[in-house]
Amino acid sequence: MNICYDEARGVFKLDTPNTSYAMALADGKWLGQVYYGPRLESTDLAWLLGADQPPFTPQRHPREEVSFYDCFPTEYPVENSGDFRIPCLSVRTARNQIDCMPVFSRWELLPGKPALEGLPATFGDSEDCNTLKIVLEDAAIGLEIELFYTAFTRLDVITRSVRIVNNGPEPVWLERALSACLSLPYEGRQLMTLHGSWARERQIQTCEIGVGIQGTASCRGIPSHQDQPFLALTSRDVTQERGEVFAMHLVYSGGFTAQVQRDQFNRLRAVLGICPDTFCWKLAPGAAFQAPEAVLTYSAAGLGRMTRTLHDLYREHLIRSKYLHAPRPVLINNWEATYFDFDEEKLLGIAKRASELGIELFVLDDGWFCPRHTDSGGLGDWQVDPEKLPHGLKGLAEQINALGMQFGLWMEPEMISPDSELYRAHPDWAIQTANHPALLCRDQLVLDLSRPEVEEYVWSRIEATLSSANIVYLKWDMNRPLTSLGSAGLPADRQGELSHRYVLALYRLQQRLLDRFPDLLLENCCGGGARFDPGMLYYSPQIWCSDDTDAIERLRIQEGTALLYPLSCMGAHVSDCPNHVVGRVTPFDTRGTVALAGTFGYELDVTRISPEEQRQIPAQIRRYHRHRALIQSGDYYRLSSLFGGCQLDAQMVVSKDKSEALVTLVWALNAPNQRRTPLCLQGLEPGAVYEDQETGRRWPGEVLLRAGLPAEGPKCDFEAKLIHLKRVR
């Protein structure tokens, strides 16, 4: 096993190929984190607890207990314990007191990795990973805290999760139950997070870590457009290829917190878990609460190593879909082509021309049900509009299939419109507080999935819709945050459970969907990319990246997304110009090149674009088919960033055996009198020779890596180029 316990020193150590994570016991009672970083063979690490210096441990120096807790590197810190830094756990007892003081109880080793009840999580057998279980106990209130650590054998990843069990005679309320805590020396490290808004998701931000608390969070009931459940602590000199990175990523699709605190002793504590602002869980006697999983990875070789580690983890140990490595159809979605203004004839006209151009899947977006001529009605009923679709979904799908295309559909199952038969019959099924009307967003409300009858109704509408026609793809959307948090189905002392229960019901629905329709290609969406998180990847192999489909804006969005997620996860389409979000005009070829770094598809009316643009579509599809497997499974390298100060945005994907690479170049605004700039590649074999498949020019691998590839300047604004290299010897 790659996990050991040195009983003489009281040290637990978990090893991955290049990293070690270690904890130690002080006086056999207090569990502290002592090390995370490059792999160590020794377990002589307990001295890092600092228990041999003032204020010493409470057993040795009982008059300074508070001072001990306030500086001890506690592995799972609790509130109101004398530790005044960010806590992971806050327990309110039946006496309405924050009161929990757990100490070490026992441990065990588990082969492989146990699943988390009701939650998505990474998976692996005993050849892939092993798991350490450590139990902390507060005997006074009867609470056990089970800490799970999984160390992967072929990846530099350690995952963490927490299960809390109430063995006492009275209920307790968990007001905070985070998933992981990381303790590190400050050493000038910086904080990296991902931020944004609608249509500009996952923008990379790096900042200094000052004394105090900073970080990112979402209390919106979804990870949100604005924030990502991720943080990284990096060395000041970090680049793609150099420097240290300590990263934490939460496998969860609800509100979260990701914070770091620099304390009085110049140490850092980073925490990650469910957002405590909208969380309070009543834990009855005999009950257990399972917190989501946190993914931890350490890189001593820059951000690129972190990225490739997470990509491999999510492809090999999180995404379960049959489409993970299989060819995915090139689709066309009618949303930006028609919005709500369509009928069967218009849809079939677009589909017919799309099929002639080689597009393989037609997706019908919002507006197919009634009343739905705007975004102000019909959500929850899901009744086909007979005026738009006189032959129903079944008839439309049959006509699409007759063109040689597959048929897909958009739904927003979690929502309810005030203008719907469902709301008129069950207004209490919407999430809302008792004393105020629910707040509208996009003229819609959110169904209270925490109620079993509501969850069952939603499932009945999904199942009936997908069973009504030959539907092979579903785009599951969700277009607003959770507000007015209140449930008519929960008692007063459980209202704080609503947000998390909502997420658990969402996971049950998506699992039920996949069990019932195992061949369905599911793409999650949340008003664009507001639910682009690892939890969703457990159910869908791809997620709509952003509603902003402009090729230049997408460079920034896709760069931030690819920092954490495989390219095969990113829903990316070629759309019309001027772009519907920013009004920019970019070459059709550039739009196709940028969308190639994703799932690839179209979002426009192919009957209305120019003949020249129509002629490019078959070539773009052939190009996608040629490079699909490499993009889905290869190693990703970021070479330069348009938004990092370069005029050239460049990335490359290299096959695992280093025999093939695809380099993508996109320039911004052209400029006069420029000299050619060599671009150093990454990931290739230095001793090999590679051939440019377009020009036939051959390059020694070491030249491409160390001297560079000539990057000829653009001939116009927003020009793009692909360079396909193959090893010839």
- Which residues are designated catalytic? 477, 547
**Residues in contact with 53: Cβ distance below 8 Å, sequence separation at least 6, in sequence order:** none
- Degrees to nearest 5, angle at CA 558 with 555 and 559: 80
Pair 384, 369: CB distance under 8 Å? yes
Is the peptide bond preceding residue 111 cis, with omega within 30 degrees of 0? no
CA distance 252 to 538: 10
What is the CA 400 to chain-centroid distance, rounded? 33
Closest CA to 331 of 441, 407, 242, 439: 407
Q: Enter the tokens of residue 246.
A: 């300590």
Long-range contacts of 264-269 (CB under 8 A, 24+ apart): 264/211, 265/71, 266/185, 266/186, 267/73, 267/183, 267/184, 267/185, 267/186, 268/182, 268/183, 268/184, 268/185, 268/186, 268/189, 268/209, 268/233, 269/77, 269/85, 269/86, 269/181, 269/182, 269/183
Pair 473, 540: CB distance under 8 Å? no
State whether residue 701 is helix, strand or coil.
helix
CA distance 632 to 630: 5
CA dihedral 405, 407, 408, 413 (to 10 degrees): 180
Residues composing the chain? 729
3-state secondary structure string across 416-483: ECCCCHHHHHCHHHECCCCCCCCCCECCEEEECCCCHHHHHHHHHHHHHHHHCCCCCEEEECCCCCCC
CA distance 250 to 161: 10
State whether residue 216 is helix, strand or coil.
strand
CA distance 5 to 12: 5
The neighbour count for residue 524, using CB atoms within 10 Å, is 27
Pair 69, 51: CB distance under 8 Å? no
The neighbour count for residue 572, using CB atoms within 10 Å, is 26
State whether residue 616 is helix, strand or coil.
helix
State whether residue 505 is helix, strand or coil.
helix
DSSP-derived pairing of the beta strands 129-138 and 143-152: antiparallel
User: Which DSSP symbol is given to 526?
Assistant: B
Q: Which residue has the tokens 């580690």?
A: 309
CA distance 162 to 168: 18
**Residues in contact with 107: Cβ distance below 8 Å, sequence separation at least 6, in sequence order:** 5, 12, 132, 133, 134, 135
CA distance 72 to 53: 11
CA dihedral 54, 56, 62, 63 (to 10 degrees): 10
CA distance 15 to 6: 14
In which element (H, E) is residue 509 found? helix 498-516
Pair 293, 276: CB distance under 8 Å? no
